[in-house]
Structure 1
Amino acid sequence: MSPYFSITTIEAILPFIAVGFAAQMVDGALGMAFGVISNSLLLWLGVPPAMASAGVHTVETFTTAVSGISHTIHRNVNWRMFFRLMIPGVIGGVIGAYVLSNLDAAAVKPYILAYLASIGLYLLWRSTHYPAKERKPKVVEPLGLIGGFLDAAGGGGWGPVVTSNLLVQGASPRMTVGTVNTAEFFLTTTISATFITQLGWEAFTLATLGLLIGGVIAAPFGALLAKRVPAQRLMFLVGVILTLTSAFNLYQAVK
Protein backbone atom coordinates (compact mmCIF):
# COMPACT_ATOMS: atom_id res chain seq x y z
CA MET A 1 0.00 0.00 0.00
CA SER A 2 1.25 3.47 -0.87
CA PRO A 3 2.51 5.52 2.11
CA TYR A 4 0.26 8.35 0.92
CA PHE A 5 -2.79 6.27 1.89
CA SER A 6 -1.82 6.23 5.59
CA ILE A 7 -4.56 8.68 6.66
CA THR A 8 -7.19 6.28 7.99
CA THR A 9 -8.97 8.15 10.77
CA ILE A 10 -11.36 11.09 10.90
CA GLU A 11 -8.94 12.94 13.19
CA ALA A 12 -6.17 12.67 10.60
CA ILE A 13 -8.42 13.87 7.78
CA LEU A 14 -9.76 16.90 9.67
CA PRO A 15 -6.73 19.14 8.91
CA PHE A 16 -7.18 18.49 5.20
CA ILE A 17 -10.90 19.30 5.48
CA ALA A 18 -9.98 22.60 7.14
CA VAL A 19 -7.43 23.41 4.44
CA GLY A 20 -9.90 22.51 1.68
CA PHE A 21 -12.58 24.70 3.27
CA ALA A 22 -10.28 27.71 3.73
CA ALA A 23 -8.69 27.37 0.30
CA GLN A 24 -12.06 27.16 -1.46
CA MET A 25 -13.47 30.14 0.43
CA VAL A 26 -10.53 32.19 -0.82
CA ASP A 27 -10.76 30.73 -4.33
CA GLY A 28 -14.52 31.21 -4.67
CA ALA A 29 -14.37 34.82 -3.49
CA LEU A 30 -11.14 35.91 -5.20
CA GLY A 31 -10.88 33.59 -8.20
CA MET A 32 -7.59 31.99 -7.17
CA ALA A 33 -5.54 30.13 -4.56
CA PHE A 34 -7.23 26.73 -4.08
CA GLY A 35 -4.66 24.96 -6.23
CA VAL A 36 -1.75 26.98 -4.88
CA ILE A 37 -2.64 26.45 -1.21
CA SER A 38 -3.63 22.79 -1.52
CA ASN A 39 -0.75 21.84 -3.79
CA SER A 40 1.78 23.55 -1.51
CA LEU A 41 0.47 21.56 1.46
CA LEU A 42 0.70 18.22 -0.35
CA LEU A 43 4.23 19.00 -1.56
CA TRP A 44 5.20 19.95 2.00
CA LEU A 45 3.94 16.55 3.15
CA GLY A 46 6.17 14.85 0.61
CA VAL A 47 3.72 13.97 -2.16
CA PRO A 48 5.49 13.99 -5.59
CA PRO A 49 4.58 17.01 -7.79
CA ALA A 50 2.65 15.06 -10.46
CA MET A 51 0.65 13.12 -7.86
CA ALA A 52 -0.06 16.30 -5.86
CA SER A 53 -1.26 18.15 -8.95
CA ALA A 54 -3.39 15.18 -10.03
CA GLY A 55 -5.03 14.94 -6.59
CA VAL A 56 -5.71 18.67 -6.33
CA HIS A 57 -7.25 18.79 -9.80
CA THR A 58 -9.50 15.86 -8.97
CA VAL A 59 -10.80 17.77 -5.95
CA GLU A 60 -11.20 20.93 -8.02
CA THR A 61 -13.38 19.05 -10.50
CA PHE A 62 -16.02 18.87 -7.76
CA THR A 63 -15.42 22.20 -6.04
CA THR A 64 -15.42 24.18 -9.29
CA ALA A 65 -18.66 22.50 -10.36
CA VAL A 66 -20.40 23.67 -7.18
CA SER A 67 -18.68 27.06 -7.34
CA GLY A 68 -19.60 27.55 -11.01
CA ILE A 69 -23.27 26.78 -10.34
CA SER A 70 -23.24 29.20 -7.42
CA HIS A 71 -21.61 31.98 -9.47
CA THR A 72 -24.17 31.40 -12.23
CA ILE A 73 -27.05 31.69 -9.76
CA HIS A 74 -25.60 34.98 -8.45
CA ARG A 75 -25.10 36.23 -12.05
CA ASN A 76 -21.36 36.60 -11.72
CA VAL A 77 -20.55 35.06 -15.14
CA ASN A 78 -19.77 36.80 -18.44
CA TRP A 79 -20.62 33.99 -20.86
CA ARG A 80 -18.83 35.47 -23.86
CA MET A 81 -15.61 35.70 -21.90
CA PHE A 82 -16.29 32.24 -20.47
CA PHE A 83 -16.00 30.56 -23.88
CA ARG A 84 -13.00 32.69 -24.83
CA LEU A 85 -11.21 31.39 -21.73
CA MET A 86 -12.50 27.84 -21.48
CA ILE A 87 -11.57 26.48 -24.91
CA PRO A 88 -7.89 27.57 -24.98
CA GLY A 89 -7.66 26.78 -21.25
CA VAL A 90 -8.61 23.14 -21.85
CA ILE A 91 -6.02 22.89 -24.65
CA GLY A 92 -3.30 24.37 -22.44
CA GLY A 93 -4.31 22.10 -19.55
CA VAL A 94 -3.92 18.93 -21.60
CA ILE A 95 -0.46 20.01 -22.77
CA GLY A 96 0.59 20.99 -19.23
CA ALA A 97 -0.60 17.72 -17.68
CA TYR A 98 1.32 15.72 -20.30
CA VAL A 99 4.47 17.80 -19.73
CA LEU A 100 4.35 17.41 -15.93
CA SER A 101 3.74 13.67 -16.23
CA ASN A 102 6.73 13.17 -18.51
CA LEU A 103 9.15 16.08 -17.99
CA ASP A 104 10.52 18.26 -15.19
CA ALA A 105 8.91 21.69 -15.40
CA ALA A 106 10.51 22.95 -12.16
CA ALA A 107 13.18 24.99 -13.94
CA VAL A 108 10.76 27.71 -15.08
CA LYS A 109 8.68 27.77 -11.90
CA PRO A 110 10.72 30.49 -10.09
CA TYR A 111 10.31 32.85 -13.05
CA ILE A 112 6.56 32.28 -13.15
CA LEU A 113 6.24 32.89 -9.42
CA ALA A 114 8.30 36.08 -9.61
CA TYR A 115 6.01 37.33 -12.37
CA LEU A 116 2.88 36.52 -10.36
CA ALA A 117 4.28 38.27 -7.27
CA SER A 118 4.91 41.40 -9.33
CA ILE A 119 1.33 41.26 -10.67
CA GLY A 120 0.10 40.97 -7.08
CA LEU A 121 2.00 44.10 -6.08
CA TYR A 122 0.58 45.96 -9.08
CA LEU A 123 -2.96 44.96 -8.11
CA LEU A 124 -2.33 46.26 -4.60
CA TRP A 125 -1.33 49.59 -6.12
CA ARG A 126 -4.36 49.54 -8.44
CA SER A 127 -6.70 48.92 -5.52
CA THR A 128 -5.55 52.16 -3.87
CA HIS A 129 -6.26 54.07 -7.09
CA TYR A 130 -9.76 52.63 -7.61
CA PRO A 131 -12.22 53.23 -9.15
CA ALA A 132 -10.45 53.06 -12.47
CA LYS A 133 -12.58 52.92 -15.59
CA GLU A 134 -13.65 49.34 -16.31
CA ARG A 135 -12.71 48.16 -19.79
CA LYS A 136 -13.34 45.06 -21.88
CA PRO A 137 -10.16 42.94 -21.80
CA LYS A 138 -8.47 42.58 -25.18
CA VAL A 139 -6.08 39.74 -24.36
CA VAL A 140 -8.22 36.76 -23.31
CA GLU A 141 -7.54 33.60 -25.33
CA PRO A 142 -3.74 33.63 -24.76
CA LEU A 143 -4.39 33.97 -21.02
CA GLY A 144 -6.61 30.89 -21.14
CA LEU A 145 -3.96 28.87 -22.97
CA ILE A 146 -1.09 29.94 -20.71
CA GLY A 147 -3.18 29.71 -17.54
CA GLY A 148 -4.35 26.20 -18.40
CA PHE A 149 -0.82 25.03 -19.14
CA LEU A 150 0.67 26.51 -15.97
CA ASP A 151 -2.21 25.22 -13.85
CA ALA A 152 -1.51 21.63 -14.87
CA ALA A 153 2.29 21.86 -15.07
CA GLY A 154 2.66 23.83 -11.83
CA GLY A 155 -0.15 22.34 -9.75
CA GLY A 156 -1.95 25.67 -9.64
CA GLY A 157 -1.95 28.89 -11.63
CA TRP A 158 -5.22 29.23 -13.54
CA GLY A 159 -6.66 31.78 -11.11
CA PRO A 160 -3.46 33.74 -10.42
CA VAL A 161 -2.57 34.05 -14.11
CA VAL A 162 -6.03 34.57 -15.62
CA THR A 163 -7.85 36.50 -12.88
CA SER A 164 -4.98 38.88 -12.15
CA ASN A 165 -4.27 39.69 -15.80
CA LEU A 166 -7.93 40.31 -16.60
CA LEU A 167 -8.11 42.70 -13.64
CA VAL A 168 -4.97 44.46 -14.86
CA GLN A 169 -6.72 45.00 -18.20
CA GLY A 170 -9.63 46.69 -16.41
CA ALA A 171 -12.23 43.92 -16.21
CA SER A 172 -14.93 43.97 -13.51
CA PRO A 173 -13.58 42.15 -10.41
CA ARG A 174 -16.91 40.45 -9.65
CA MET A 175 -17.54 39.19 -13.21
CA THR A 176 -13.91 38.19 -13.62
CA VAL A 177 -13.91 36.02 -10.50
CA GLY A 178 -17.21 34.35 -11.42
CA THR A 179 -16.25 33.70 -15.03
CA VAL A 180 -12.78 32.38 -14.25
CA ASN A 181 -14.13 30.06 -11.55
CA THR A 182 -16.86 28.69 -13.81
CA ALA A 183 -14.48 28.05 -16.73
CA GLU A 184 -12.12 26.27 -14.34
CA PHE A 185 -14.52 23.33 -13.99
CA PHE A 186 -13.93 22.28 -17.59
CA LEU A 187 -10.19 22.84 -17.21
CA THR A 188 -9.83 20.73 -14.08
CA THR A 189 -11.98 17.93 -15.50
CA THR A 190 -9.77 17.74 -18.59
CA ILE A 191 -6.54 17.91 -16.58
CA SER A 192 -7.70 15.16 -14.20
CA ALA A 193 -8.60 12.89 -17.12
CA THR A 194 -5.19 13.51 -18.70
CA PHE A 195 -3.40 12.67 -15.44
CA ILE A 196 -5.36 9.42 -15.19
CA THR A 197 -4.19 8.36 -18.64
CA GLN A 198 -0.59 9.18 -17.75
CA LEU A 199 -0.32 8.14 -14.09
CA GLY A 200 -3.27 5.84 -13.35
CA TRP A 201 -5.61 5.96 -10.36
CA GLU A 202 -2.75 5.48 -7.88
CA ALA A 203 -1.95 9.17 -8.33
CA PHE A 204 -4.88 10.10 -6.11
CA THR A 205 -4.20 9.99 -2.40
CA LEU A 206 -6.52 9.68 0.57
CA ALA A 207 -5.40 13.15 1.64
CA THR A 208 -7.39 14.54 -1.28
CA LEU A 209 -10.57 13.22 0.36
CA GLY A 210 -10.24 15.80 3.13
CA LEU A 211 -9.60 18.58 0.62
CA LEU A 212 -12.66 17.45 -1.33
CA ILE A 213 -14.99 17.46 1.69
CA GLY A 214 -13.87 20.88 2.90
CA GLY A 215 -13.83 22.38 -0.59
CA VAL A 216 -17.34 21.23 -1.53
CA ILE A 217 -18.76 22.56 1.76
CA ALA A 218 -17.18 25.99 1.18
CA ALA A 219 -17.85 26.32 -2.56
CA PRO A 220 -21.35 27.90 -2.40
CA PHE A 221 -20.20 30.66 -0.03
CA GLY A 222 -17.36 32.02 -2.17
CA ALA A 223 -19.69 33.22 -4.94
CA LEU A 224 -21.83 35.06 -2.40
CA LEU A 225 -18.74 36.85 -1.07
CA ALA A 226 -17.64 37.81 -4.60
CA LYS A 227 -21.06 39.38 -5.17
CA ARG A 228 -21.16 41.30 -1.90
CA VAL A 229 -17.55 42.43 -1.38
CA PRO A 230 -16.90 45.91 -2.92
CA ALA A 231 -14.78 45.88 -6.09
CA GLN A 232 -11.92 47.90 -4.58
CA ARG A 233 -11.63 45.58 -1.59
CA LEU A 234 -11.90 42.53 -3.84
CA MET A 235 -9.00 43.74 -5.97
CA PHE A 236 -6.94 44.51 -2.86
CA LEU A 237 -7.55 41.02 -1.45
CA VAL A 238 -6.61 39.41 -4.78
CA GLY A 239 -3.35 41.38 -4.70
CA VAL A 240 -2.58 40.31 -1.13
CA ILE A 241 -3.25 36.61 -1.75
CA LEU A 242 -1.36 36.58 -5.05
CA THR A 243 1.67 38.38 -3.62
CA LEU A 244 1.92 36.28 -0.45
CA THR A 245 1.38 32.88 -2.08
CA SER A 246 3.72 33.64 -4.98
CA ALA A 247 6.45 34.99 -2.70
CA PHE A 248 6.21 31.99 -0.37
CA ASN A 249 6.34 29.46 -3.20
CA LEU A 250 9.18 31.38 -4.85
CA TYR A 251 11.14 31.12 -1.60
CA GLN A 252 10.41 27.39 -1.48
CA ALA A 253 11.48 26.94 -5.09
CA VAL A 254 14.86 28.73 -4.84
CA LYS A 255 16.02 27.88 -1.32
Structure 2
Amino acid sequence: MQDFLLFFFVGFGAQIVDGALGMAYGVVSSTVLLAFGVPPAAASASVHAAEVFTTATSAVSHVAHKNVNWKMFFPLTIAGVVGGVLGAYVLTSIDGNTIKPFIVVYLGIMGLVILWRAWKGASKTPTSPKLIAPLGLVGGFCDATGGGGWGPTVTSALVGTGTEPRYSIGTVNTAEFFVTVAISVAFVTALLTGHWDKTGGLMQHAAAVAGLVVGGVLAAPLAGWVVKIVPVKIFTWMVGFLVLFLCLYQGLRLFKII
Protein backbone atom coordinates (compact mmCIF):
# COMPACT_ATOMS: atom_id res chain seq x y z
CA MET A 1 0.00 0.00 0.00
CA GLN A 2 2.90 2.31 0.77
CA ASP A 3 4.36 1.77 -2.73
CA PHE A 4 0.96 2.42 -4.29
CA LEU A 5 0.50 5.75 -2.49
CA LEU A 6 4.05 6.89 -3.25
CA PHE A 7 3.74 6.21 -6.98
CA PHE A 8 0.19 7.53 -7.04
CA PHE A 9 1.59 10.94 -6.16
CA VAL A 10 4.53 10.48 -8.53
CA GLY A 11 2.15 9.58 -11.37
CA PHE A 12 -0.25 12.39 -10.49
CA GLY A 13 2.46 15.05 -10.41
CA ALA A 14 4.24 13.73 -13.50
CA GLN A 15 1.03 13.71 -15.53
CA ILE A 16 0.15 17.26 -14.50
CA VAL A 17 3.55 18.38 -15.78
CA ASP A 18 3.29 16.21 -18.92
CA GLY A 19 -0.13 17.56 -19.79
CA ALA A 20 1.08 21.13 -19.41
CA LEU A 21 4.37 20.71 -21.32
CA GLY A 22 3.82 17.70 -23.58
CA MET A 23 6.74 15.98 -21.85
CA ALA A 24 8.18 14.58 -18.61
CA TYR A 25 5.75 11.84 -17.47
CA GLY A 26 7.99 9.02 -18.67
CA VAL A 27 11.26 10.71 -17.73
CA VAL A 28 10.15 11.59 -14.18
CA SER A 29 8.41 8.25 -13.52
CA SER A 30 11.22 6.08 -14.87
CA THR A 31 13.86 8.12 -13.04
CA VAL A 32 12.07 7.60 -9.72
CA LEU A 33 11.69 3.87 -10.44
CA LEU A 34 15.39 3.61 -11.27
CA ALA A 35 16.21 5.49 -8.07
CA PHE A 36 14.30 2.81 -6.14
CA GLY A 37 16.45 0.10 -7.69
CA VAL A 38 14.11 -1.20 -10.41
CA PRO A 39 16.12 -2.67 -13.36
CA PRO A 40 16.12 -0.45 -16.49
CA ALA A 41 14.04 -2.80 -18.68
CA ALA A 42 11.54 -3.37 -15.86
CA ALA A 43 11.33 0.38 -15.18
CA SER A 44 10.69 1.14 -18.85
CA ALA A 45 8.07 -1.62 -19.12
CA SER A 46 6.35 -0.40 -15.93
CA VAL A 47 6.17 3.19 -17.12
CA HIS A 48 4.85 2.20 -20.55
CA ALA A 49 2.21 -0.05 -18.98
CA ALA A 50 1.00 2.96 -17.00
CA GLU A 51 1.24 5.27 -20.01
CA VAL A 52 -1.14 3.13 -22.05
CA PHE A 53 -3.89 4.47 -19.80
CA THR A 54 -2.62 8.02 -19.23
CA THR A 55 -1.84 8.68 -22.90
CA ALA A 56 -5.26 7.38 -23.94
CA THR A 57 -6.92 9.88 -21.61
CA SER A 58 -4.66 12.67 -22.84
CA ALA A 59 -5.20 11.79 -26.52
CA VAL A 60 -8.99 11.91 -26.20
CA SER A 61 -8.76 15.34 -24.57
CA HIS A 62 -6.47 16.78 -27.28
CA VAL A 63 -8.56 15.40 -30.15
CA ALA A 64 -11.71 16.80 -28.56
CA HIS A 65 -10.11 20.24 -28.24
CA LYS A 66 -8.79 20.10 -31.85
CA ASN A 67 -5.15 20.37 -30.80
CA VAL A 68 -3.89 17.77 -33.31
CA ASN A 69 -2.14 18.56 -36.59
CA TRP A 70 -3.09 15.46 -38.58
CA LYS A 71 -0.50 16.07 -41.32
CA MET A 72 2.24 15.73 -38.71
CA PHE A 73 0.44 13.04 -36.73
CA PHE A 74 0.62 10.14 -39.20
CA PRO A 75 4.35 10.21 -40.14
CA LEU A 76 5.25 10.98 -36.53
CA THR A 77 3.21 8.05 -35.21
CA ILE A 78 4.40 5.46 -37.75
CA ALA A 79 8.07 6.37 -37.27
CA GLY A 80 7.63 6.52 -33.50
CA VAL A 81 6.17 3.00 -33.41
CA VAL A 82 9.10 1.62 -35.44
CA GLY A 83 11.67 3.37 -33.24
CA GLY A 84 9.90 2.30 -30.05
CA VAL A 85 9.76 -1.39 -30.96
CA LEU A 86 13.41 -1.33 -31.97
CA GLY A 87 14.35 0.37 -28.70
CA ALA A 88 12.40 -2.17 -26.63
CA TYR A 89 14.15 -5.05 -28.39
CA VAL A 90 17.56 -3.49 -27.74
CA LEU A 91 16.79 -2.83 -24.07
CA THR A 92 15.53 -6.36 -23.37
CA SER A 93 18.57 -7.84 -25.12
CA ILE A 94 21.09 -6.15 -22.83
CA ASP A 95 21.84 -6.90 -19.18
CA GLY A 96 20.46 -4.22 -16.86
CA ASN A 97 23.83 -3.46 -15.25
CA THR A 98 25.33 -2.83 -18.68
CA ILE A 99 22.66 -0.36 -19.76
CA LYS A 100 22.46 1.64 -16.49
CA PRO A 101 25.35 4.05 -17.25
CA PHE A 102 23.84 4.83 -20.65
CA ILE A 103 20.45 5.46 -19.03
CA VAL A 104 22.03 7.91 -16.58
CA VAL A 105 23.72 9.77 -19.45
CA TYR A 106 20.48 9.74 -21.43
CA LEU A 107 18.50 11.20 -18.53
CA GLY A 108 21.13 13.88 -18.09
CA ILE A 109 20.86 14.81 -21.75
CA MET A 110 17.08 14.96 -21.46
CA GLY A 111 17.37 17.31 -18.51
CA LEU A 112 19.70 19.59 -20.46
CA VAL A 113 17.36 19.50 -23.48
CA ILE A 114 14.46 20.64 -21.30
CA LEU A 115 16.54 23.45 -19.76
CA TRP A 116 17.72 24.50 -23.22
CA ARG A 117 14.09 24.65 -24.31
CA ALA A 118 13.24 26.86 -21.31
CA TRP A 119 16.11 29.25 -22.08
CA LYS A 120 15.80 29.42 -25.86
CA GLY A 121 12.04 29.44 -26.32
CA ALA A 122 10.36 28.91 -29.70
CA SER A 123 11.97 29.73 -33.02
CA LYS A 124 10.29 31.61 -35.87
CA THR A 125 11.40 29.02 -38.45
CA PRO A 126 8.64 26.50 -39.40
CA THR A 127 9.39 22.82 -38.81
CA SER A 128 10.42 21.09 -42.03
CA PRO A 129 8.10 18.17 -42.95
CA LYS A 130 11.22 16.14 -43.79
CA LEU A 131 12.21 16.17 -40.13
CA ILE A 132 8.95 14.74 -38.78
CA ALA A 133 9.54 11.03 -39.49
CA PRO A 134 13.24 10.97 -38.41
CA LEU A 135 12.26 12.86 -35.26
CA GLY A 136 9.57 10.27 -34.51
CA LEU A 137 12.03 7.41 -35.08
CA VAL A 138 14.58 8.87 -32.66
CA GLY A 139 11.89 9.83 -30.15
CA GLY A 140 10.39 6.33 -30.13
CA PHE A 141 13.80 4.68 -29.71
CA CYS A 142 14.78 7.01 -26.86
CA ASP A 143 11.39 6.52 -25.22
CA ALA A 144 11.75 2.73 -25.10
CA THR A 145 15.38 2.59 -24.02
CA GLY A 146 15.04 5.34 -21.42
CA GLY A 147 11.57 4.61 -20.06
CA GLY A 148 10.62 8.11 -21.17
CA GLY A 149 11.84 10.60 -23.72
CA TRP A 150 9.17 10.85 -26.40
CA GLY A 151 7.95 14.22 -25.15
CA PRO A 152 11.33 15.83 -24.36
CA THR A 153 12.75 14.66 -27.70
CA VAL A 154 9.84 15.38 -30.02
CA THR A 155 7.91 18.23 -28.40
CA SER A 156 11.04 20.25 -27.70
CA ALA A 157 12.21 19.86 -31.29
CA LEU A 158 8.85 20.80 -32.80
CA VAL A 159 8.32 23.85 -30.62
CA GLY A 160 11.96 24.87 -30.94
CA THR A 161 11.71 24.89 -34.74
CA GLY A 162 8.58 26.99 -34.89
CA THR A 163 5.53 24.74 -34.57
CA GLU A 164 2.82 26.34 -32.46
CA PRO A 165 3.02 24.90 -28.89
CA ARG A 166 -0.67 24.00 -28.86
CA TYR A 167 -0.36 21.74 -31.90
CA SER A 168 3.06 20.43 -30.90
CA ILE A 169 1.84 19.23 -27.51
CA GLY A 170 -1.52 17.98 -28.81
CA THR A 171 -0.05 16.07 -31.75
CA VAL A 172 2.85 14.57 -29.81
CA ASN A 173 0.63 13.51 -26.90
CA THR A 174 -1.92 11.90 -29.22
CA ALA A 175 0.77 10.03 -31.18
CA GLU A 176 2.32 8.94 -27.89
CA PHE A 177 -0.62 6.62 -27.18
CA PHE A 178 0.13 4.51 -30.25
CA VAL A 179 3.88 4.56 -29.61
CA THR A 180 3.32 3.50 -26.00
CA VAL A 181 1.02 0.63 -26.99
CA ALA A 182 3.59 -0.62 -29.53
CA ILE A 183 6.41 -0.50 -26.96
CA SER A 184 4.28 -2.25 -24.34
CA VAL A 185 3.37 -5.01 -26.82
CA ALA A 186 7.09 -5.39 -27.64
CA PHE A 187 7.92 -5.85 -23.96
CA VAL A 188 5.10 -8.37 -23.47
CA THR A 189 6.18 -10.28 -26.58
CA ALA A 190 9.76 -10.40 -25.31
CA LEU A 191 8.46 -11.74 -21.99
CA LEU A 192 6.18 -14.41 -23.47
CA THR A 193 8.76 -15.65 -25.97
CA GLY A 194 11.46 -15.98 -23.33
CA HIS A 195 13.60 -13.30 -25.00
CA TRP A 196 13.51 -11.32 -21.76
CA ASP A 197 13.84 -13.52 -18.67
CA LYS A 198 14.74 -10.92 -16.05
CA THR A 199 11.24 -9.85 -15.10
CA GLY A 200 11.57 -9.94 -11.34
CA GLY A 201 11.85 -6.17 -11.10
CA LEU A 202 8.62 -5.75 -13.05
CA MET A 203 6.59 -8.37 -11.19
CA GLN A 204 7.69 -7.08 -7.79
CA HIS A 205 6.57 -3.56 -8.55
CA ALA A 206 2.95 -4.13 -9.58
CA ALA A 207 1.78 -1.74 -6.83
CA ALA A 208 4.04 0.98 -8.21
CA VAL A 209 2.62 0.51 -11.72
CA ALA A 210 -0.92 0.66 -10.34
CA GLY A 211 -0.08 3.87 -8.51
CA LEU A 212 1.35 5.44 -11.67
CA VAL A 213 -1.79 4.45 -13.61
CA VAL A 214 -4.35 5.76 -11.11
CA GLY A 215 -2.46 8.95 -10.34
CA GLY A 216 -1.80 9.70 -14.01
CA VAL A 217 -5.37 9.05 -15.17
CA LEU A 218 -6.86 11.24 -12.42
CA ALA A 219 -4.43 14.07 -13.19
CA ALA A 220 -4.90 14.08 -16.99
CA PRO A 221 -8.13 16.15 -17.02
CA LEU A 222 -6.53 18.79 -14.76
CA ALA A 223 -3.65 19.56 -17.12
CA GLY A 224 -5.60 22.17 -19.08
CA TRP A 225 -6.45 24.02 -15.90
CA VAL A 226 -2.81 23.95 -14.73
CA VAL A 227 -1.67 25.48 -18.03
CA LYS A 228 -3.92 28.48 -17.38
CA ILE A 229 -2.50 29.30 -13.93
CA VAL A 230 1.21 28.38 -14.22
CA PRO A 231 3.48 29.85 -16.95
CA VAL A 232 4.85 27.11 -19.19
CA LYS A 233 8.39 28.52 -18.99
CA ILE A 234 8.43 28.19 -15.20
CA PHE A 235 7.20 24.61 -15.50
CA THR A 236 9.94 23.84 -18.02
CA TRP A 237 12.72 25.13 -15.76
CA MET A 238 11.32 23.11 -12.84
CA VAL A 239 11.18 19.88 -14.82
CA GLY A 240 14.67 20.33 -16.25
CA PHE A 241 16.25 20.87 -12.85
CA LEU A 242 14.26 17.99 -11.35
CA VAL A 243 15.41 15.53 -14.00
CA LEU A 244 19.04 16.65 -13.66
CA PHE A 245 18.85 16.31 -9.88
CA LEU A 246 17.44 12.79 -10.10
CA CYS A 247 20.02 11.94 -12.78
CA LEU A 248 22.80 13.13 -10.47
CA TYR A 249 21.38 11.07 -7.62
CA GLN A 250 21.22 7.96 -9.79
CA GLY A 251 24.76 8.57 -11.05
CA LEU A 252 26.10 8.86 -7.51
CA ARG A 253 24.40 5.57 -6.65
CA LEU A 254 25.81 3.94 -9.78
CA PHE A 255 29.37 4.83 -8.75
CA LYS A 256 28.59 3.86 -5.13
CA ILE A 257 29.34 7.34 -3.84
CA ILE A 258 26.10 7.26 -1.86
TM over 0.5: yes
Between 1:198-207 and 1:38-47, the stretch displaced more is 198-207
Aligned pair in 2 of structure 1 residues 162, 242: CA closer, same or farther (>3 Å)?
farther
**Any gaps of 5 or more consecutive residues in structure 1?**
1-8
What is the aligned-residue identity percentage? Answer: 47
Q: Which residue of 2 aligns with 1:3?
A: none
Aligned pair in 2 of structure 1 residues 178, 245: CA closer, same or farther (>3 Å)?
same
**2:38 pairs with 1:44:** no
Q: Which residue of 1 aligns with 2:184?
A: 192
Q: Which residue of 1 aligns with 2:154?
A: 162
Matching residue within 231, 238, 241 for 2:239: 241
Q: Which residue of 2 aligns with 1:120?
A: 114
| Runs of 4+ that moved beyond 4 A | 223-226
Q: Which residue of 2 aligns with 1:6?
A: none
Q: Which residue of 2 aligns with 1:213?
A: 214
Distance in 2 between residues matched to 1:42 and 1:116, nearest whole Å = 17
**Any gaps of 5 or more consecutive residues in structure 2?**
193-198
**DSSP-derived class of the 1:76 partner:** coil
Q: Which residue of 1 aligns with 2:133?
A: 141
Q: What letter corresponds to residue 217 of structure 1 in structure 2?
A: L
Aligned pair in 2 of structure 1 residues 240, 168: CA closer, same or farther (>3 Å)?
farther
Distance in 2 between residues matched to 1:44 and 1:115, nearest whole Å = 17
**DSSP-derived class of the 1:47 partner:** coil
Over residues 162-215 of structure 1, what are the superposed CA-to-partner deviations in whole Å (9 max), with x where a residue is unaligned? 111111111111211111111000011011111011124863522101111111
> What does 1:43-192 align with in structure 2 at a 5 Å threshold?
43-103=34-94, 104-127=98-121, 133=124, 135-138=126-129, 139-192=131-184
Q: What letter corresponds to residue 74 of structure 2 in structure 1?
A: F
Over residues 19-45 of structure 1, what are the superposed CA-to-partner deviations in whole Å (9 max), with x where a residue is unaligned? 111111111111111111111121222
Aligned pair in 2 of structure 1 residues 18, 240: CA closer, same or farther (>3 Å)?
closer
Distance in 2 between residues matched to 1:151 and 1:218, nearest whole Å = 21
Q: What letter corresponds to residue 210 of structure 1 in structure 2?
A: G
| 1:100/1:152 contact within 8 Å kept | yes
| 2:11/2:215 contact within 8 Å kept | yes
Q: What letter corresponds to residue 64 of structure 1 in structure 2?
A: T
Q: What letter corresponds to residue 209 of structure 2 in structure 1?
A: T
Quote the RMSD (CA, aligned, Å): 2.4
| 1:120/1:240 contact within 8 Å kept | no
Taking structure 2 as the reference length, the TM-score comes to 0.83
**2:15 pairs with 1:17:** no
Distance in 2 between residues matched to 1:146 and 1:192, nearest whole Å = 17
Aligned pair in 2 of structure 1 residues 44, 12: CA closer, same or farther (>3 Å)?
same
Q: What letter corresponds to residue 102 of structure 1 in structure 2?
A: S
**DSSP-derived class of the 1:87 partner:** helix
Taking structure 1 as the reference length, the TM-score comes to 0.84
